[in-house]
């Protein structure tokens, strides 16, 4: 799936999501737990404004849990209600409802004080493509409700899905654009599969992944590919060693670098080598 984001699309998507937000009590901002900064829409604060917010760090199964805890603390400090989940395998779903209750407690207490009847909390999911919005909606609904069609903004005909005892969720998520300007963010989006047809070069993405693993998981990297390459060796030596070990050769025994690049990206993307969080909270200007 490729969405081409043009300024006109972006403005429309923002407008549509803002319009939908009026219908809900709380927003579920969905991000990828491996890149909790890089997978956020750059204008998200402007879009959500002061509406209560649950930040859902999805794909927890592929993230570094220690870093994830730091990100949860980071979002809590901002006054949001973070939860880390694994939507694909249905883990942590209850946390979402609990966080929604906490996030809207004040609002509902006020309504009660005014004598308004108790009602379900209304929520919607917002996020960039591929962070798992459809997967989460389907899991929360406990059935296949939606294939979003990946239309930026929000798809038209919508319904409320009943979740647990206290929640109603819009069955179509708000789709907003990723960050484009920053090359490093682009590489992170690509290596996690948020942008598949990459606007960054795949060799650079593979090198980014390799360098990240050299720094954060040197032993795991060597073990996974069964290679013994020194930390000081350059990236070509790594590609050569991995390619040779995996038999990725062209005629004349040349290393098939394209195949090695694809392999590294695919295996990092699917957490085959290790579970990494590429955004380090202390290093980000957020």
Q: List residues near ligand G4P by CB under 6 A.
A: 58-59, 61-62, 86-88, 127, 129-135, 148
User: Measured from the CB of residue 158, what is the shortest distance to ligand G4P in angstroms?
Assistant: 15
Smaller CB separation from ligand G4P, 89 or 105: 89
HEC assignment per residue over the chain = CCCCCCHHHHHHHHHHHHHHHCCCCEEEEEEECCCCCCCCCCCHHHHHCCCCEEEEEECHHHCCHHHHHHHHHHHHHCCCEEEECECCCCECHHHHHHHHHHHHHHHHHHHHHCCCCCCCEEEEEEECCCCCHHHHHHHHHCCCCCCCCCCCECCCCCCEEEECCCEEEECCCEECCCCCCCHHHHHHHHHCCCCCCCCCCHHHHHHHHHHHHHHHCHHHHHHHHCCCCCCCCCHHHHHHHHHHHCCCECHHHCECHHHHHHHHHHHHHCCCCCCCCCCCHHHCCC
User: Measured from the CB of residue 144, what is the shortest distance to ligand G4P in angstroms?
Assistant: 11
d(CA 150, CA 172): 10
d(CA 58, CA 273): 19
User: Measured from the CB of residue 16, what is the shortest distance to ligand G4P in angstroms?
Assistant: 16
Smaller CB separation from ligand G4P, 70 or 88: 88
Smaller CB separation from ligand G4P, 88 or 244: 88
Smaller CB separation from ligand G4P, 72 or 86: 86
Smaller CB separation from ligand G4P, 21 or 242: 21
Smaller CB separation from ligand G4P, 132 or 153: 132
Residue nearest to ligand G4P (CB): 132
User: Measured from the CB of residue 60, what is the shortest distance to ligand G4P in angstroms?
Assistant: 6
User: Measured from the CB of residue 281, what is the shortest distance to ligand G4P in angstroms?
Assistant: 20
């Amino acid at each position: 799936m490729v969405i081409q984001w043009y300024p006109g699309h972006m403005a429309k998507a923002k407008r549509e999501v803002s319009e939908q937000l009026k219908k809900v009590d709380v927003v579920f901002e969905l991000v990828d737990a491996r890149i909790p900064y890089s997978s956020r829409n750059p204008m998200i604060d402007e879009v959500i404004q002061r509406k209560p917010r649950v930040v859902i760090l999805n794909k927890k199964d592929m993230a570094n849990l220690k870093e994830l805890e730091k990100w949860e603390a980071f979002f809590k400090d901002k006054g949001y209600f973070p939860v880390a989940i694994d939507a694909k395998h249905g883990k942590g779903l209850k946390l979402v409802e609990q966080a929604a209750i906490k996030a809207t407690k004040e609002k509902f207490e006020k309504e009660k004080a005014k004598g308004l009847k108790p009602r379900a909390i209304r929520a919607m999911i917002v996020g960039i493509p591929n962070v798992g919005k459809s997967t989460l909606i389907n899991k929360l609904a406990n059935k296949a409700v939606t294939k979003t069609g990946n239309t930026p903004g929000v798809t038209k005909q919508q319904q409320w899905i009943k979740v647990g005892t206290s929640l109603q969720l819009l069955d179509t998520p708000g789709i907003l654009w990723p960050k484009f300007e920053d090359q490093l963010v682009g590489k992170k989006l690509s290596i996690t599969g948020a942008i598949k047809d990459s606007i960054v070069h795949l060799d650079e993405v593979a090198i980014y992944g390799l360098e990240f693993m050299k720094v954060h998981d040197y032993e795991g990297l060597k073990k996974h590919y069964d290679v013994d390459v020194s930390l000081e060796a350059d990236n070509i030596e790594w590609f050569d060693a991995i390619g040779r070990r995996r038999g990725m050769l062209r005629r004349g025994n040349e290393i098939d670098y394209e195949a090695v690049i694809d392999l590294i990206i695919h295996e990092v993307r699917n957490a085959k080598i290790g579970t990494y969080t590429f955004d380090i909270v202390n290093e980000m200007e957020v």
